[in-house]
Structure 1
Amino acid sequence: MAGHIVVGVDGSAPATAAVEWAAADAQRRDLAVRIVHVCEQWPHSESTEYCTRALEAAADRARELTRGVEVTTEMLKGNVIDDLIAESNSADTLVVGSRGLGGFAGMVLGSVSMAVAGHAAAPVIVVRAPSALWHGRVVVGYDGSGHSEAAMAYAVEQARARGAQLHVVSAWQVPVFSPYAVTYSSLIEDVMRQEAHVARERVTPWRESNPDLVITDEQPCEHPVKGLMDAARTADLVVVGSRGLGGFTSAMLGSVSHGVLHHVGCPVAVVRPRANGES
């Protein structure tokens, strides 16, 4: 992958948290930090001054938190979403705040972070607020799909860089049977056992190929979003594929990644396979 992390800033508190996350990750993984601010063409000349101040403050914060990390800045002029997606093409990771200065203050996730998570080429980290606690655990949602394979590879990299435990959540739901079909109870139990067994077996190759990591797993019988929300309570990072086995193949962001972005409080990484086959 490319050797720098791109972080988009706009002067908001979530953007500052994104800078802090990017700085820490760059320090751990020996990467550079590229901070960008898209200065949209407002009718007042003060807008350029604000953009310059936002960039300088973000760069100062990144340099304050790192040692020996290259920090560069650039002011872009165009459309925020398009410019950030373009930046992702050459980035190791793209980091954004959960929402910026625009929109409604009560919204959990902004339109920019949602659009970028759905279309960026690189893994996208959405950061809501500075982390108050360190749990030493990375959580990843894994269902065996191509997107979840990419998510697992990124989660392994993050866990190793952090010296953290990797916890794999393979949630699934029981097929719907008629409530009057009592005779199907043994069939349902068989389905549950088989699903759990298959999910556990999918993790085995990852455990064998990464003996230096502590990899734990669980197979909760519930909606994947609920399973990941529960696991996220003691996680420093939750990693999901942009979409999984279900849903429409044309959808850029699946229901699970969408739900996790809206309901999980810790930083969330949304990962899709690289178009050129890189991981």
Structure 2
Amino acid sequence: MARHIVVGVDGSVPATAAVEWAAADAQRRGLGLRIVHVCEQWGYGDGATKYCAGALAAAADRARGLTRDVEVTTELLPGHVIDTLIGESASADSVVLGSRGLGGFAGLVVGSVGLGVAGHAAGAVVIVRGPSVVQYGRVVVGDDGSDESEAAVQYAVEQARARGVPLQVVFAWQMPIAPPLAAGYSKILEGAREHEIRMAAERVVPWREKNPDVEIIGKQVVGHPAEVLIQAGGTADLVVVGSRGLGGFASAVLGSVSHAVLHHLKYPVAVVRAPHGSGETTS
């Protein structure tokens, strides 16, 4: 199959929402759709295998009923769910998952599979919490100048183009805590703020020049990046974030901002990793 979207299913309600989202995305962007069920319980008898096969067939029927001229393929896979889906991501445009599956704790907004795949997969991982009942007509992406955010903006541009909606590129500068009695520190902070906001605005310009068919709006504000993105994403059809940004710990596979956005937004969130070979960034 050429460029394709992978969607993981397990028979849960969020997984069905993920199939619906992935089918619409495949239709808009002219991609194939590969539906997989990682059946970890194959060793527990025919009943588990029949359930897995039935869930996979139901998902395929749903996808085919929502699309036209989209190549839909399915495969029942053995193995560990997270590891297998990460492996699938290597040859996929993106991986789409429901926010929670059949296992784990009902109180969790995003399950361990979604977090595990989003933190390690190649490319984009889209987490879908439920059916999209409202269309706001815009895509929002976070930018902090890192390789991860550059990859996120590229994915967001493609999404906005396919949907025919504006793209808002959001940069948030967080005010550092001023040390007590630091003479002239406020002027230093003001200069740093002006510099970072100017640089963020300048980063938007090449994206506009390279993509004249997409309306790209830059938004530079002072505030915590997670809070700013969550607020902006409350009226967006899709929020796109890099898996890790410039601050935090290099060992973290999923940064604090992307983690917070995943847990607080009820609309689809795409977490994007920079391609292999890009410069390493910290979280």
How far has the Cα of 1:183 moved from its partner?
4.9
Q: What are the residue-to-residue correspondences of 1:262-277 with 2, within 5 Å?
A: 262-275=263-276
Question: In the alignment, which residue of structure 1 is the partner of 2:119?
Answer: 118
1:59 corresponds to: 60
Residues 80-112 of structure 1, C-alpha deviations (whole Å, 9 max, x = no match): 111111111111111111110001111101000
The 8 Å contact of residues 18 and 97 in structure 1, kept in 2 or not, is answered as yes
Task: Judge conservation of contact 1:2–1:92 (CA < 8 Å) in 2.
Answer: no
* 8 Å Cα contact 1:8-1:36 kept in structure 2: yes
Look up the equivalent residue of 1:49 and give its one-letter code.
K
Q: Residue 181 of structure 1: CA displacement?
A: 4.6
| Cα offset, 1:180, TM superposition | 4.7
SS at match of 1:170: strand
Contact 2:173 2:193 in 1 (8 A): no
| 1:13 matches 2:13 | yes
2:5/2:34 contact within 8 Å kept:
yes
Q: Percent identity?
A: 65
Cα distance change on mapping 1:269 and 1:193 into 2, 3 Å:
same
- Separation of aligned partners in 2, 1:108 and 1:179: 39
1:39-95 CA-partner distances (Å, limit 9, x unpaired) = 112534311111111011100110110011111111011111111111111111111
Q: Where in structure 2 are there 5+ consecutive unaligned residues?
A: 279-283
- Report the Cα distance in structure 2 between the residues aligned to 1:30 and 1:194, rounded to whole angstroms: 40
Unaligned runs of 5+ in 1: none
Which residue number corresponds to residue 176 of structure 2? 175
Equivalent residue, structure 1, for 2:71: 70
Partner of 1:25: 25
Q: Taking structure 1 as reference, are residues 137 and 162 closer, same or farther at Cα in structure 2, changes over 3 Å only? A: same
Farther-moved stretch of structure 1 (177-186 vs 165-174): 177-186
Moved more, 88-97 or 192-201: 192-201
1:21 alignment partner, SS class: helix
Q: Name 1:105's counterpart in structure 2.
A: 106
Residue 135 (structure 2) pairs with residue 134 (structure 1): yes
Output the CA distance in 1 between the equivalents of 2:118 and 2:132: 20
CA RMSD of aligned residues (A): 1.7
| The 10-residue stretch of structure 1 (71-80 or 44-53) with the greater mean CA deviation from structure 2 | 44-53
1:250 CA drift (Å): 3.0
Distance across 1 between alignment mates of 2:146 and 2:73 = 36
The answer to whether the 8 A contact 1:2-1:90 is kept is no
The Cα shift of 1:152 comes to: 0.7
Q: TM-score, normalised by structure 1?
A: 0.95
Tell me the alpha carbon deviations over residues 12-61 of structure 1, each in whole angstroms, 9 at most, x when there is no partner: 11100100010000001111111000111253431111111101110011
1:214-266 Cα shifts (integer Å, max 9, x gaps):
11121121111101000001101111111011122232111111111111111
Matched position secondary structure for 2:36: strand
Q: Who is 1:86 aligned against?
A: 87
Q: What TM-score, normalized to structure 2?
A: 0.93
- In 1, Cα distance between equivalents of 2:180 and 2:219: 27
- Partner SS for 1:219: strand
Measure, in 2, the Cα distance between the counterparts of 1:139 and 1:243.
17
Amino acid across the alignment from 2:129 = R
My pick for the range that moved more, 123-132 or 39-48, is: 39-48
User: Contact (CA 8 Å) 1:81, 1:115: kept in 2 or not?
Assistant: yes
**Partner AA of 2:81 in structure 1:** V
Instruction: Find out whether 1:49 has 2:50 as its counterpart.
Output: yes
For 1:240 and 1:8, the matched residues in 2 are separated by 21
Quote the residue 1:149 is aligned against: 150
Q: Report the equivalent of 1:242.
A: 243
For 2:218 and 2:265, how far apart are their aligned partners in 1? Answer: 19
- Structure 2 counterpart of 1:223, one-letter code: H
Query: SS of the counterpart of 1:220?
Result: strand
Distance 1:198 1:140 in 2: 16
Deviation at 1:184, TM superposition (A): 3.6
Residue pair 1:138, 1:155 contacting (<8 A) in 2 also: yes
